[in-house]
Every structure is written in C-alpha cells, then in structure tokens.
A and B are shown apart, each in its own frame.
Chain A
C-alpha cells in the first residue's frame, strides 16, 4: 500500500445536498457482453467518491459514461441538469463541466505544457488568450509545475505529466472531476506527488469521482467508497464502514486480496 497521504487529516466539510450527478438504471453492453448492469448512482455537489473493484468490473466504463466517452444503451444519466443523449450540443455542454484525468495522461505532445492548458479555455470557453494563460499559470503553480510551462510533455516525467493533465482539466473550471486510475501508469516514487495534488483538490471541495486502487487515498479523503464487481455496484458506504465492516462477501474477498499483501 502506498503511504502517500497525510494520515488522519480528513477534511471536515458538510455536503450541500445539491445533486450534480444522477444515474438511473444505466446499462451498457459491448456487443453481447453486459458491462454495466442497472447502475444507480447519485452524487452530491462537493462529494468525493472512490470507485474500486477488480479489473474488468466496469468501474472505468462507468465513469467514462459520465462524460459520454462511452455510450450507455439503457437508463438515464443526468449531469448538472443536462441529460446525456445523442444530442451533440448537450454532450459538449456536459464535457465542459466535467474534467477528466486519464491513466495515460493523454497530454497533447505537439503543444507545450502551457498550450495544453490554454487550448480548451480559448477555443471552447472563448476566453481571451492573456486571461487563459494567466489562469493556466495559476493552476500550474497549484500543481507545482509552473516552471515547466514552456516545455513539451515528452520532456516531463510521468508524475509531472499527470499533474499537468490535472491542471489542464482544472483550467476549464469543471464542476466535477473524473479520475480514471490516475496513478496506475506511474512509477511508485511519482504516485505521491499526484495524490498530493488530488488531496489538495479534495480539500478545496471539488466534486470528485476517482477510480483508483489507492486505498490509503480512499480512507483519508473519500466521503463514500463504491465497490463494483461484474458490472454492478455491489456496495457503497463511508470509508470507515466500508473498510472495517464490509457487508457483502464479494467486498470482503476483494479487500482481503488488496489489503493483505
């Protein structure tokens, strides 16, 4: 287990109760394979959720449905009052408000770090270039990488690239941040720098959904842990209850596999 985070400093905050994500009866198939089975999920503004589960359990597919990188075939997904359907306009509106951080960073290799961060604000939000750059620099400072702004992604380490990717998403001022295994492709010594940035975001009250295997992160910052297996949400609870007193047999098995090694 990574001992990356400052233990026991879980930020105290109260949720507004305002709902920002609602999934109702979401189903998805890859061909004949049923990846998501009747997923129901409601997320409040400011809530920090960790999604875990064995590989192939559909956890990445689920959060990728939330910004329509994957299409669901049944059920409804409503993000900040907008339902995700085939309506391209709505999809683009949702994507503006939902930031995503990928396992493999997916920075644009032909643009500098700064250009990576200013591209979407300039072209999607129509922000003046100077303002976009100023904001980008402040977010790059926040992820502690401002001095690399003129470099190209290929010149940075994995951890640095992932921090740039987080800054790039933040530059769009998203209402929700999705993290799809953000530390899985990193060398062990770089995991901490990325988790620290994510903890900082959580402390600032960002609504976050993280697919991750970093159980330490889940314990210290999550408001809720969701366990998925074979395409369905098996269990969801506060981290304390989830780790100390898992209700389902599948959860217990999963936890014993990842915690006792």
Chain B
C-alpha cells in the first residue's frame, strides 16, 4: 500500500536543455515552422539591407550640428544636422520675438510640469483645478505679456511647439467635460436633450475637421456683425473643442453602455439622485472602461492640431515647413520632418504608455 505514497520528495530537476535558453527561444518563436523560417529570413534580409544605409545617412555620413548648408550640399550623402541647430528656435517657437523666446520655452516647461503632475492620481482632487488655473494664467502672461514689464506679443506671432500644446491641451481639457455631458445627454430619457446631443454629435462627426476649421475661420466672420471679430486662434481653438467633444462623447458612450443595469438599479435603490449616481457610481467605471478609445482620440487630436496650418497658424509642423522655405536651407525636408516626427512621437508615446499604466492601476482588484 505504501508504494503509492511518495515518502521523500523528489529533487527538483532542470528542464530539458532544448526547452529553455536562447536556442529554444529562437526555435519556438522564429523557426517553429518552415513558413515562419522563410519569413524570418526574409525579414532579416530586409532589415540588413535597410538599416545600414539609414544609419549611414543618420549618423556616419551625417554632417554635425555645426555644418553650414553649403558644406551639406557639397556632400549630400548624409543628414545635415546643421539645419536643425540653425532653425531649432524657429521650429520650436515660430515668429515669437527672438530675444523673448525664453517665454514660450517656460510655457512649454509649465505645461509639461502640469501634465506630469496630473498623471499622479494623488493630485486628482478639486484643488488641483486651481493649480491648473494658475498654470494657465501664468502661460497667458508669458505668451501675451503686456504686464510685469514683459513686452506685448500678439498671438499671430505665436507658433511652434507652444501653439501645438496650447491648442491640444486646452482643447482636450475643455472638450472632456463637454463630451461627458454630451454622452450623458445622448442616453438621457428627456427627448429634447437626447435629440439635441445626437444631432450635435452626428453633425460634427459627419464633417471633416478641415472643413470645420475653414468654417470657423472663413464663414464665422460672415455671420458676425460688422466690427466684431473673434481672434483667429480662438476660432481655431473653438473648432477643435467642438470636434474633440463629439468624438470623445462617443468614446464615453461606449463606456457607459458597458455598465451593467444592476449598477444603476443599486444606485437608484439607495436613493442617490441622478447626478450623484453618475458622478459616484457610473462615470468612474465608464471612464475607466473608455480609457483606450479616449486616449486614441487624445493622440489623434494632438496630431490633428497640425491642420491649423491651412488657416494660417504656424504650429510645430507649420514652422518646420516655414523653416524649409528659407532659400539657403531649401530641400532639407528629411531632417525637418524627422525632427518634428520625433517630438510628436515622444508626446504621443508618453500618452499611450501612461494610459496603459492608468488602466492597470484602475483595474487592480476592482474586477468582479
């Protein structure tokens, strides 16, 4: 009888050599079938033919940050990073007066500090709204000036990265609460509210952003009485807010629909009013579910701010294009687009990474 019982535990053994280690990994992941082996070899070949020339252009044959355009044109086989160092301040700050450009630089720093701080959930308190208000007031003072001995700078001279950040951050921050109201309105029991929200969302979603920007900049003034004019930047900002709100409302509606009916009933059963129920029970869960589509919208809107170039505002993409129109630097578009591409990528990738972290944090221990 005791034969069936293991009285002394068996010692741990190492797994067979062909199931662990780099060789096994290669075999499991890259060469696990004949067609995957062919694909692996093809891809490796493609990489081998593409990467060295790119690195050559990017680094080995490139001209450093001190190169002049004349030097670069004589040997065109490599990148000309002199273009970036020459045009850096123009690309970043646009036509902001040269000796005042520390102001947009501080603006960028203020925004980044606010955004980084906002990522910490410990700061998700009502008082942090005051911090944002103070930050935005500081930004307004820095960019416009005209007080505290700062010279006044018209907002037609704003450009580059600060403009991109202002349009997208303020745009998304204002659009977000509006979109929540739109999403709730779309699911409302009140017919008038519902029709209004559905009409708004469907109208805005059915129109390209470009045409909305055109309308804001060209058609809106036609409807305003003579002598009244709304600032061009403000018009673009409003168009962005309207557009972003419609899209985010749909993302949030998706989250709202995922909340089980029982949650509404439990909140009702406890006697919570409509707004208490939404604020305390439904929205916290719906927004957590809506994070991926919301961040998707955030990222695409951050990039879509580059469309303001068509109404004559110079955001980051606009200033890069404008820098290329300098006769002595004409044709260095690879360097220009690669540079701003990296800047856009850093912002968008940070948003994506942060959203993944937030999703993990919010889901921890909550799931039923």
Chain A positions near chain B (C-beta within 8 angstroms): 67-69, 92-93, 95-96, 98-100, 102, 104, 106-110, 119-120, 123-124, 151-155, 168-169, 172
3 nearest interchain CB pairs? A106-B266, A106-B262, A95-B271
Indicate if the CB atoms of B366 and A124 lie closer than 8 Å: no
Contact in complex: A108, B265 (CB < 8 Å): no
Which residues of chain B from 217 to 274 have any CB-CB distance to chain A below 8 Å in the complex?
Answer: 260, 262-263, 265-273
Does any Cβ of A come within 8 Å of B27's Cβ? no
Cross-chain contact B280 with A154 (CB below 8 angstroms): no
B270 touches A92 (CB 8 A): no
Measured between alpha carbons, how far is A98 from B268 in the docked complex, in Å?
A: 11
How many contacts between A and B, using CB within 8 angstroms?
Answer: 73
B259-302 CB contacts (< 8 Å) to partner A: 260, 262-263, 265-273, 276, 280-281, 284-285, 288
Partner of A110, one of B269, B271, B366: B366
Residue in A closest to B281 when the chains form the complex, CB atoms: A108
Q: How far in angstroms is the closest Cβ of chain A from B261?
A: 9
Chain A residue numbers with a CB within 8 Å of B260 are 106
Quick one: given A109-B285, A110-B288, A123-B280, are A102 and B365 in contact (CB under 8 Å)? Answer: no
What is the bound-complex CA distance between A246 and B272, given in angstroms?
41
Known contacts A109-B367, A154-B365, A154-B368; A92 and B271 CB within 8 A of each other: yes
Nearest Cβ distance between residue B268 and chain A, in whole angstroms? 6
- A-contacting residues, B326-368, CB 8 Å: 362, 365-368
> 14 additional contacts, CB 8 Å, given A152-B366, A155-B365?
A69-B265, A95-B271, A96-B271, A100-B265, A102-B262, A102-B265, A108-B281, A110-B284, A110-B362, A119-B272, A119-B281, A124-B272, A154-B365, A172-B271
- B-chain residues with CB within 8 Å of residue A172 when the two chains form the complex: 270-271
* Structural contact, A99 and B269, CB atoms closer than 8 A: yes
Give the residues from 150 to 207 in chain B that come closer than 8 angstroms, CB to CB, to chain A: none
Cross-chain contact A120 with B285 (CB below 8 angstroms): no
- Taking a contact as CB atoms under 8 Å apart, the answer to whether A109 and B265 are in contact is no
- Whole-angstrom distance from the CB of B283 to the nearest CB of chain A? 10
**18 contacting pairs across A/B (C-beta < 8 A):** A67-B269, A68-B268, A99-B269, A102-B262, A106-B260, A106-B263, A108-B267, A110-B285, A119-B270, A119-B281, A123-B272, A123-B280, A124-B276, A152-B366, A154-B365, A168-B270, A169-B269, A172-B271
Complex interface: chain B residues within 8 A of A107 (CB): 266
> Do B271 and A120 have beta carbons less than 8 Å apart?
yes
CA distance in complex: A176, B276 (Å): 23
CB–CB B262/A69 < 8 A: no
Question: Contact partner of A152 among B266, B284, B365, CB < 8 A?
Answer: B365
Q: Which residues of B contact A123 (CB under 8 A)?
A: 272, 276, 280
| A95 CA to B265 CA, complexed, in Å | 11
Are the C-beta atoms of B269 and A100 separated by less than 8 Å? yes
Minimal Cβ-Cβ distance residue in B for A151: B365
Chain B residues with CB below 8 A from A169, complex form? 269-270
Smallest CB gap from A153: residue in B: B368
Chain B residues with Cβ below 8 Å from A124 are: 270-273, 276
Q: Note all chain B residues with C-beta closer than 8 A to A95.
A: 268-271
Among residues of B, the one whose C-beta sits closest to the C-beta of A67 is B269
Find the A residue at minimum CB distance from B364: A152
Q: Are A108 and B367 in contact (CB under 8 A)?
A: no
Contact A102 B266 (CB under 8 A): yes
Partner of A120, one of B272, B366, B367, B368: B272
Nearest CB of B to A206, in Å = 16
A92 to B269, CA, bound (A): 9
Instruction: Please measure, in the bound complex, the distance between the C-alpha atom of A53 and the C-alpha atom of B101, giving whole angstroms.
Output: 79
Question: Are A69 and B285 within 8 A (Cβ)?
Answer: no
- Cβ–Cβ < 8 Å partners of B280 in chain A: 119, 123
Which chain B residue lies CB-closest to A123?
B276
Q: How far is the CA of A104 from the CA of B366 in the complex (A)?
A: 16
Given known pairs A109-B367, A152-B365, the reply for A120 and B263 (CB within 8 Å) is no
Roughly how many angstroms separate A187 CA and B187 CA in the complex, as a whole number?
A: 36
Interface centre among B262, B266, B273, B281, by most A CB within 10 Å? B266
Q: Taking the nearest CB of chain A, how far is it from the CB of B125, in angstroms?
A: 15
Residues of A within 8 A of B276 (CB): 123-124
**Which residues in B have their C-beta under 8 angstroms from that of A68?**
268
Most B CB atoms within 10 A — which of A100, A104, A108? Answer: A108
Most buried by A among B271, B284, B368: B271
